[in-house]
Amino acid sequence: MKPVLVMINGLPGNVAATMARAAVSDPRFQLIPASLTGPDIPDTFVRIDNIDITLIKPDARETAVSDIRQQYGNPIAIDYTHPSAVNANARFYIHHRIPFVMGTTGGDRQALEKEVSQGDVPAVIAPNMAKQIVGFQAMMAFAADQFPGLFKGYTLEIKESHQQTKADTSGTAKAMVGYFNRLGVDFKPEQIQQIRDPEIQKTQWQVPEPYLSGHGWHTYTLTASDGSALFEFKHNVNGRQIYVEGTFDAVVFLKKQLADPRVTRRLFTMMDVLNSPASNTKNDPSHETIP
């Protein structure tokens, strides 16, 4: 099978760099040596393994995308940029008919979904690309649908810890608030405790030092009004490999949608990826989910 042409945007950011290194060594993909970057990035290129990847600033990308298409063909974009760039980048992809996987959190998510739905290219958009966490969210959504008000009267505490460079509150944590609301808990996204101090993460949270620059630890604690019962849900991820696997599955899924002329839908989520008959989660025993 011909490798999928991918353009990973957001270099030299850590997540984008992790994605790029993984793509170079994955025979399913061909990495375009170019990446959209922010206006404040001083570098003109970044080296990933032995490949020099040109960094394209916003004022140069209109011309660059034409050159890329002429030289390489039509790519699928993988977006791990900055929350402030989410909506502008999506509009750029839609305008230039570039299918994309949006792993960047933040931005105006309602506007993002609306523009993709009304656009001409498909995209996979999710606040979290980790398949196992998406599965956990699906379980919470099922509970909220089946047992509305189950935790009525309980108080909720949500704490999320990420690397110091993460600019926004976790999109996963925000999504979880909605499920807990349906389960009867009065809680607002603004109440999420956002931990970004490496010293606190190391000494109080016990995040391993090698992962202070790349982790996602979430704890959701429900306490009965009289203190007689406590329920706690937790997912701790060190490093970024779990997001690489999910993102690459999303790219393969998107490629299949593009190849099927019957598909007219434009907006997809990671739940669509998990439910796909071709999902690694269902068919490949080497890609087992975390229990």
Q: Which residues are catalytic?
A: 162, 166
CB 224 within 8 A of CB 230: yes
Task: Indicate the angle between helix axes 14-24 and 241-259, nearest 10 degrees.
Answer: 60
Q: How far apart are the first and last CA of the chain?
A: 32
The DSSP code sequence of 23-77 is HHT-TTEEE-SEEE--TT---SEEEETTEEEEEE-GGGHHHHHHHHHHHH--PEE
Phi and psi at residue 207, in whole multiples of 5°?
Answer: -70, 130
Residue type, 18: T
Residue ranges of the alpha helices (H) in the chain?
Answer: 14-24, 61-72, 86-95, 109-118, 131-146, 171-182, 198-203, 241-259, 270-275, 280-283
CA dist 212 and 238 (Å) reads 9
Nearest to 121 by CA among 4, 283, 268, 287: 268
CB 123 within 8 A of CB 102: yes
